[in-house]
Amino acid sequence: MSRSQRKLTYADFLLFPDDGKRHELIAGVHYVTPSPNLTHQELVGRLYLAIGNFLATRRGLGRVFVSPLDVVMSNYDVVEPDLLFVAGDQQSILTEANIQGSPALAIEVLSPGTKRRDQGLKRKLYDEKGVREYWMVDPGSRRVAICRRADDATFPLVDTPTLTWDGVLETPLLPGWSMALRELFADI
């Protein structure tokens, strides 16, 4: 295998420049994404605050983190979800440097440059690596597509709440938490 066809590893990943861009490995292939735009950051911030405030009085449920934070799913798979939740029963995957394993919840805010990768490669990776739930937040359509691990271990698309349905985000990972999509997408 030539050098250009060689699968990159986490050791290679650690040599990537700290240039303000998101660097990820999926199946040993390097992907680079430019810095996010304001709408993207607004949505990530709103979700982080809503979930973080909820967890402030329920510390045993788990912890929420915002990108950039490396999630090392294998030697060839290192991603940086926009937002992630590590459940209370997963605290052993937290290290000082990164997350070593699959979070319970990964959230990606879609952008034109990442939409296909987030809906295809990342969804497949999160399925294969055992993520319990994956949200794909689409600011353009004001939708949130949710993949949730089923009892039979499949990872189907289970819900796409929209504003026209007065949708509400909820998850069994955070019992009692909810967020109206009108609140999430207000002024977006």
Using alpha carbons, select from 77, 66, 68, 83 the residue that is nearest to residue 35. 68
Residues of the chain with pLDDT under 70: 1-4, 163-165
Residue 31 lies in a domain: no
pLDDT reported for residue 161: 79
pLDDT reported for residue 2: 45
Domain that holds residue 84: 36-184
Please tell me whether the peptide bond between 17 and the residue prior to it is cis, using omega within 30 degrees of 0: no
User: What predicted TM-score, i.e. pTM, was given to this entire model?
Assistant: 0.93
Residue 7 lies in a domain: no
pLDDT reported for residue 163: 64
pLDDT reported for residue 4: 61
Check which CATH number belongs to the domain holding 143 and give it. Answer: 3.90.1570.10
